[in-house]
Amino acid sequence: MDIFRIQGGNRLSGSVKISGSKNGALPVLFASLLCDGPVELRNVPTELRDIKTTLKILETLGARSEVGEYGSVNIQIQDVSSTCADYELVSAMRASICCLGPLLARRGEARVSLPGGCSIGDRPVELHTRGMEALGAEVSIENGYVVARAAQLKGSTVYLSGPMGSTVLGTQNVMMAAVGAEGETVIEGAACEPEVQATAGFLRAMGVAVEGDGTPVIRIEGRGRLDQGGGLGGGSFGIPPDRIETGTYLLAGAIAGDKVTIEGCNPSENLALLDLLNRIGVSVEVGTSTMTVQGVESVAPVDISMLPYPAFPTDLQGPLMALLCLGRGVSIITDKVFPDRFNHLSELRRFGARVRKEGPTAIIEGGAPLSGAKVMASDLRASACLVLAGLVADGMTEVYRIYHLDRGYERMEEKLRKLGAEVERLSEKELEQDREMELAQG
């Protein structure tokens, strides 16, 4: 298990190039199961662990994939007989529930392991299964698997808003199932996240009529009977830039930057973050596909809630908390999407941060000096929070279990080093050797 060792205090400057969106790419990869013809994807963040896991799952489902340069992935479905996504792979990544829709549409049946618990809190999938039922599928839970069958899916009105708002992956899953339905499907209470628009964009590129993505009402014209040998023809699609990676580097620039330019991003997808940065005194120059952020010594305190798009994203809650530790007073963050997503909080305390949790809310008393510490990453975005805190903490930080970070940030240590940060990746063995050497040198 790799470790990041960070010497805090270097001011960052220069530019960083944003990768393709992880959460945009994952459902699109699963949507390739709807196709018979070749699929060519561009700008896929192929070095991410979640992308590699997805390609393995697709392989078990009869898809041959080739990863080329610059994020190109070519996929060809060779065998449509398998309908089962196994526990071993699905338990590594919750997004794999997204093979439910395409398998059902193309193969008439799906057996997908229930993803199980997650360190960011409870993550049920009943909205996904209710959506499949609304399209006429019979769904049951058998031995830890979601089992869904439909001789023929039928277009229908599907309502997808739950106790915490809509569901991003659930919306994408139902959109993919609806491609194989007879007639029109209308998804009401659909998630509006840009990643849903990526799925819609892919389906359109494959010739499917989809309208309304980006709004709470999405319409999909079903193709009917895909399972009778009539998969989609294939085509080409480019994955948009990752708005969460963009936001993470904007926050890194605010925390530790002199002047950092984020390149190849889509600023219009980060308006909630830009508005917040403006309110707390961080200046950002916004171009068409670039943003330049000027670092700060401290920020004004703020009271903010994480909510579905276009509000402030829960995926940036952790990285934001690292910045608010530099606040000139008490900040309040409430996560209304994942109210238990605060694993980073107790680790932030190891840096000396004054943070505490009350229900779905974190209270951050800004201004406490941060000093380097050994900390444990517990999930993807919590890892990013700890790395950002390490950049500004005094002295050396070691972040353990960096494999969480590798699920969603491509070559983060290289990107940060290019900006002037002192970050190295060490295997546990290398760290051990370093320690022995230090001991030997007295």
CB 12 within 8 A of CB 260: yes
Closer Cβ to ligand EPZ, 12 or 322, answer by number: 322
Q: Which stretch binds ligand EPZ (CB under 6 A): 159-167, 267-275, 289-297, 360-368?
A: 159-167
Min dist CB 224 to ligand EPZ, Å, is 26
- The answer to the question of residue 337 lying near ligand EPZ (CB under 6 A) is yes
C-beta atoms surrounding 172 within 10 Å: 33
Min dist CB 379 to ligand EPZ, Å, is 7
- The answer to the question of residue 17 lying near ligand EPZ (CB under 6 A) is no
Spot the catalytic one: 35, 84, 99, 118. Answer: 118
Min dist CB 439 to ligand EPZ, Å, is 38
CB 305 within 8 A of CB 336: yes
- The answer to the question of residue 95 lying near ligand EPZ (CB under 6 A) is yes
Q: Give the Cα separation of 174 and 185 in Å (integer).
A: 9
Q: Which stretch binds ligand EPZ (CB under 6 A): 59-67, 166-174, 269-277, 414-422?
A: 166-174
- The answer to the question of residue 23 lying near ligand EPZ (CB under 6 A) is yes
Q: Give the Cα separation of 430 and 427 in Å (integer).
A: 5
> Which pair of structure tokens corresponds to residue 179?
């491609």
The 3-class secondary structure across 67-82, one letter per residue, is: ECHHHCEEEEECCCCC
Report the phi/psi class of residue 413: left, alpha or beta, with left for phi > 0 and alpha for psi in -120 to 50: alpha
Starting at the edge strand found earlier in the chain, the sheet holding 145-149 runs 84-85, 109-113, 145-149, 138-142
Q: Which stretch binds ligand EPZ (CB under 6 A): 70-78, 124-132, 143-151, 176-184?
A: 124-132
Closer Cβ to ligand EPZ, 241 or 366, answer by number: 241
DSSP of 18-56, one letter per residue?
Answer: PPBPHHHHHHHHHHGGGBSS-EEEES--TTSHHHHHHHH
Site for ligand EPZ in 265-294 (CB under 6 A): none
CA distances from 110 to 61, 102, 139, 140 (A): 11, 9, 9, 11
Q: Give the Cα separation of 214 and 108 in Å (integer).
A: 29
Name the CA dihedral angle for 231, 235, 239, 240, rounded to a multiple of 10 degrees: -110
Closer Cβ to ligand EPZ, 98 or 296, answer by number: 98
Site for ligand EPZ in 315-334 (CB under 6 A): 315
Q: Give the Cα separation of 177 and 106 in Å (integer).
A: 8
Q: Which of 272, 249, 247, 245 is nearest to 259 (CA)?
A: 249
Closer Cβ to ligand EPZ, 164 or 376, answer by number: 164
- The answer to the question of residue 360 lying near ligand EPZ (CB under 6 A) is no
- The answer to the question of residue 52 lying near ligand EPZ (CB under 6 A) is no
Q: Which stretch binds ligand EPZ (CB under 6 A): 125-133, 251-259, 269-277, 350-358?
A: 125-133
417 residue type, one letter: R
Q: Which of 398, 383, 387 is nearest to 421 (CA)?
A: 387
Closer Cβ to ligand EPZ, 123 or 417, answer by number: 123
Closer Cβ to ligand EPZ, 253 or 308, answer by number: 308
Closer Cβ to ligand EPZ, 172 or 397, answer by number: 172
Q: Where are the alpha helices (DSSP H) in 207-297?
A: 243-256, 271-280
Min dist CB 12 to ligand EPZ, Å, is 23
- The answer to the question of residue 124 lying near ligand EPZ (CB under 6 A) is yes
Q: Which of 109, 269, 94, 92 is nearest to 168 (CA)?
A: 94
CB 173 within 8 A of CB 131: yes
What is the bridge-based pairing of β-strands 330-335 and 290-294? unpaired
Site for ligand EPZ in 181-200 (CB under 6 A): 191, 195
Contact map string, positions 377 to 406, toward ligand EPZ, x by CB under 6 A: ---xx-------------------------
Closer Cβ to ligand EPZ, 174 or 296, answer by number: 174
Min dist CB 171 to ligand EPZ, Å, is 8
Residue from 3, 6, 26, 89 touching ligand EPZ (CB under 6 A): that is 26
Catalytic site residue 118? yes
Q: Which residues bind ligand EPZ (CB under 6 A)?
A: 23, 26, 94-95, 122-128, 162-164, 167-170, 191, 195, 314-315, 337-338, 380-381, 408
Residues belonging to the active site: 118
